[in-house]
Chains A and B, each alone.
Chain A
Amino acid sequence: MSDHAHPTPVAHQFDDREQQTEVGRLGMWLFLATEILFFGGLFTAYLVMRWKWPEAFAVANSKMDVTLGAINTAVLLTSSLTMALGVRAAQLGRGKGSFALIIATMVFGLAFLGIKAVEYARKFQEGLFPGPGFVFEGATGRQVETFFSLYFMMTGLHALHMVVGIGILTVIAAMIRRGRFSPDYYAPVEISGLYWHFVDIIWIFLFPLLYLIHPHL
């Protein structure tokens, strides 16, 4: 089972391992292109709304917890570092090292989600969750509500991608544990890494757009 030269056989439609690896890599890049357009709809909506209601967005922004957002940004960037190091360790055939790094990535991912949950809970308590319970004093109340519906849709979709990413890494960690990878074959680790970095990059855009409007107006 753990023959290290060929841990898993090449699928029948491929001629060799190299072709299989290239196919997987291109497939993931294309999937990420799809994802960019998927988030792109929300980013477009955000831009239009911010263009339309700049004051309301600035007011709404003052309700954002920049500290927690910044901490989360740091947590996520660190997780990308451990992910990259995990791929490198798998490439070098260091099973234990890559296992530990993937687990660390997952822990950072979970920490991000935990902090996000705290933020969400506070927004609920402050009555900033859009809908019947929404309370905001002032003339721009409805537009502030629009900001918060975008906030919850964008960060919610991002968090969903984090959950999926943690699921993928769980599988990868289990595969590392079983000795499925070698310096010749570590494509699944690499491809999962691409996905993880992508989710990270989305946040890199979300953080300034959602948390840092006010200081620049």
Chain B
Amino acid sequence: MSHETAVEGTNYLNNGYSLRSWFLTTDHKRIAILYLFTIVLFFFVGGSFAVLMRLELMSPQGTLVQAETYNKLFTMHGIVMIFFFLIPSIPAVLGNFLIPMMVGARDLAFPRLNLLSWYVFVAGASVTLFALVTGGLDTGWTFYTPFSTSYSNTRVVPAMVGIFITGFSSILTGLNFIVTVHKMRAPGLTWFRLPLFVWSLYATSLVMVLATPVLAITVAMVAFERATGIGIFNPAIGGDPLLFQHLFWFYSHPAVYIMILPAMGVVSEVIATFSRKEVFGYRFVAAASLAIAVYGFLVWGHHMFVSGQSVYAGLVFSILSYLVAIPSAVKVFNWTATLYKGQIWFQTPLLYAFGFIGLFTIGGLTGLFLAAMAVDVHLTDTYFIVAHFHYIMVGGAVMGFMAGIHYWWPKITGRLYPEGWAKFSALVLFVGFNLTFFPQFLLGYLGMPRRYYHYPPEFQVLNVLSTAGASILGVGYLIPLIYLLWSLKRGKVAGANPWGATTLEWQTASPPITQNFPTTPVVTSGSYEFPALEEVHSE
């Protein structure tokens, strides 16, 4: 009986079992599941490259792999993790699943484009994987010219083609979300009643739609120049390699916000639900998402302080980079204020959200070091940079993804994950993460450059610490993989709203029916109006 209750009646999961019903589905929830499988696969592929690198760096001389292999490892780690895990992670999985439900719609505005985006993603990923297995790539994930166009002897052209294709899946997803939020909201759901997750995905989508095409045309130009020997990046024929960096970072700095804004959205939801309070300064948190998206387009030059860009341009980029800290800090302070005097319920998603706030703050503050030109000259291309962006991307984005997966797991599958194991692995992840990456701040400050397969012996202790942390981190990622799969059959039946959350997706069955809601919901209040808070407190 207990196993059967979750799947009683039809829902989106038992509504057809054939391969066709999955691979030709236009249901946003099923497409989210397709994306989930794909990106988890890539997460472990990208992670395995990291394992090899950390093993190599256990000893100063470089014993495990050759220099060339090491160059390929960090390149492929970056490409896979950024383009095939982080960028699609929260938007394409949780955003796809949740945005239509959060706005009270039956589906996204363009269901078939949504399916197409997954196929485009798989096609782009296949071409890139082809490049990786038939020789790999050693340019770094940044593909700097003229190395990538003229000197590298690796598989630049197929990798560029793969990334070009993948970009369009990102554009299609962003376009779909923007139109859905504008035009598909349920009656009564005004802009300032939207959940903050929707606000941050909306801001993310703007970045996806406006930044990704620039990356696409840039990698296309690199591939073209590489294949034909003619183009605009090679200084030997009057081209300008700095132009590549401008174009690349015009996408790739905003891409950081494609990774972090959705995680911020998750954290807002989790903190509201598990402190039983409306998010403090809701409108400011919503506006901060848009502000981050807009500022994000104006700071790319902070990646080029030592590239020979004009000092005056550097100054402007430095000041603008500092300004991004304001909306980011608005969010952190408002989350903290939400927790204050809240009725805190320590469930796993909240632990991950706490992890996010702490690690993101460290990542953000070290970002300010790097935005200062003089300090940046000292720290550029050292492990300090590596530690900084891993605090943002792993400590921030991946923690946010883990928070979201746990928070919405009961909604997606109809089952609860095992709370004890989940809390334990959240702790393991937090410890493993800090042990891996904090020593890298020190290494970088002491002058160890990134992207080398060997190093002076005095750096060994910190490197061994980092590798030890990485193995703990790896365990922290494997445990959830196991218990989440286990919970699909064995987990407790969740019920519609196990957390007592207030947003619309929790007001329908778990797992939801294919149409999401039996009838279109009518919204009469904001997203976070928790009942009877005073009564609970006065007891």
CA distance A45 to B178 in the complex (A): 29
- Give the residue of B178, B179, B213 whose beta carbon is less than 8 angstroms from that of A38: B213
Stretch of A146-154, A161-169, A177-185 that contacts chain B: A146-154
Q: How far is the CB of A107 from chain B (nearest CB, A)?
A: 30
Render B152-192 as a binary contact track against A, CB cut-off 8 A, 1 for contact: 00000000000000000001000100110011100000000
- Give the residue of A37, A45, A142 whose beta carbon is less than 8 angstroms from that of B243: A45
Chain B hits for A33, CB < 8 A = 209-210
Q: How far is the CB of A85 from chain B (nearest CB, A)?
A: 28
Chain A hits for B214, CB < 8 A = 37-38, 40-41
CA distance A40 to B210 in the complex (A): 10
Q: Is A35 an interface residue (CB 8 A)?
A: yes
CA distance A33 to B208 in the complex (A): 11
B238 touches A53 (CB 8 A): yes
Residues A45 and B175 in contact in the complex (CB < 8 Å), given A12-B107, A38-B214:
no
- Give the residue of B179, B183, B210, B230 whose beta carbon is less than 8 angstroms from that of A130: B230
Q: How far is the CB of B231 from chain A (nearest CB, A)?
A: 6
CA distance A48 to B213 in the complex (A): 19
- Contacts of B204-257 to chain A: CB distance below 8 A: 209-214, 216-218, 221, 224, 228-232, 237-240, 243, 246-247
CA distance A26 to B211 in the complex (A): 18
Chain B: which residue is nearest A132 at the CB level?
B229
A22 touches B106 (CB 8 A): no
Residues A23 and B171 in contact in the complex (CB < 8 Å), given A37-B210, A52-B238, A131-B229:
no
B175 touches A49 (CB 8 A): no
Q: How far is the CB of A61 from chain B (nearest CB, A)?
A: 16
- Give the residue of B110, B183, B184, B237 whose beta carbon is less than 8 angstroms from that of A142: B237
Chain B: which residue is nearest A22 at the CB level?
B183
Residues A49 and B105 in contact in the complex (CB < 8 Å), given A26-B179, A149-B231, A149-B232:
no
Q: Is A114 an interface residue (CB 8 A)?
A: no
Residue from the set A41, A130, A153 with the largest chain B CB neighbour count within 10 Å? A41
CA distance A42 to B171 in the complex (A): 19
Chain B hits for A145, CB < 8 A = 230, 237
Chain A hits for B106, CB < 8 A = 12-13
CA distance A33 to B178 in the complex (A): 13
CA distance A128 to B432 in the complex (A): 59
B183 touches A38 (CB 8 A): no
A-B contact count (CB 8 A): 105
Render A9-28 as a binary contact track against B, CB cut-off 8 A, 1 for contact: 00111010001001100110
- Give the residue of B184, B224, B230, B231 whose beta carbon is less than 8 angstroms from that of A23: B184
Q: How far is the CB of B521 from chain A (nearest CB, A)?
A: 13
- Contacts of A27-71 to chain B: CB distance below 8 A: 27, 30-31, 33-35, 37-42, 44-45, 48-49, 52-53, 56
Render B106-138 as a binary contact track against A, CB cut-off 8 A, 1 for contact: 111111000000000000000000000000000
A13 touches B243 (CB 8 A): no
CA distance A13 to B103 in the complex (A): 12
Residues A26 and B183 in contact in the complex (CB < 8 Å), given A33-B209, A33-B210, A44-B247:
yes
Chain B hits for A19, CB < 8 A = 183-184
Q: Is A98 an interface residue (CB 8 A)?
A: no
CA distance A42 to B232 in the complex (A): 10
Q: Is A80 an interface residue (CB 8 A)?
A: no
CA distance A216 to B108 in the complex (A): 50
A27 touches B230 (CB 8 A): no
Chain A: which residue is nearest B111 at the CB level?
A13
Chain A hits for B210, CB < 8 A = 33-34, 37
CA distance A53 to B239 in the complex (A): 10
A143 touches B238 (CB 8 A): yes
B175 touches A27 (CB 8 A): yes
Chain A hits for B100, CB < 8 A = 13
- Give the residue of A27, A37, A142 whose beta carbon is less than 8 angstroms from that of B211: A37
Chain A hits for B171, CB < 8 A = 34
Chain B hits for A39, CB < 8 A = 217
Chain B hits for A134, CB < 8 A = 230
- Give the residue of A12, A13, A38, A52 whose beta carbon is less than 8 angstroms from that of B184: A13
A34 touches B231 (CB 8 A): no
CA distance A20 to B295 in the complex (A): 33
Residues A26 and B182 in contact in the complex (CB < 8 Å), given A41-B218, A131-B230:
yes
Q: How far is the CB of A159 from chain B (nearest CB, A)?
A: 15
Chain A hits for B247, CB < 8 A = 41, 44-45
B217 touches A42 (CB 8 A): yes
Chain A hits for B179, CB < 8 A = 23, 26-27, 30
CA distance A53 to B232 in the complex (A): 12
CA distance A48 to B238 in the complex (A): 11
CA distance A13 to B221 in the complex (A): 39
B221 touches A153 (CB 8 A): yes
B238 touches A146 (CB 8 A): yes
CA distance A48 to B212 in the complex (A): 21
Chain B hits for A37, CB < 8 A = 210-211, 213-214
Q: How far is the CB of B221 from chain A (nearest CB, A)?
A: 7
- Give the residue of B108, B213, B237 whose beta carbon is less than 8 angstroms from that of A13: B108
CA distance A189 to B221 in the complex (A): 33
CA distance A34 to B243 in the complex (A): 20
Residues A27 and B110 in contact in the complex (CB < 8 Å), given A37-B214, A48-B243:
yes
A13 touches B175 (CB 8 A): no
CA distance A22 to B185 in the complex (A): 13
Q: How far is the CB of B209 from chain A (nearest CB, A)?
A: 5
Residues A146 and B232 in contact in the complex (CB < 8 Å), given A37-B214, A41-B214, A41-B217:
yes
Can you name 21 A-B residue pairings with CB atoms under 8 Å? A12-B107, A13-B106, A22-B183, A23-B183, A26-B178, A26-B182, A27-B110, A27-B179, A31-B175, A34-B213, A38-B216, A41-B213, A41-B214, A41-B221, A42-B221, A49-B240, A131-B228, A131-B229, A142-B238, A146-B238, A149-B230
Beyond A38-B217, A130-B228, A134-B230: 12 further Cβ-contacts under 8 Å?
A12-B107, A13-B111, A19-B184, A23-B179, A23-B183, A26-B178, A27-B175, A31-B175, A37-B214, A40-B213, A143-B237, A146-B231
Nearest first, the 6 closest Cβ-Cβ pairs linking A and B are A41-B217, A38-B213, A130-B230, A13-B107, A37-B213, A143-B238
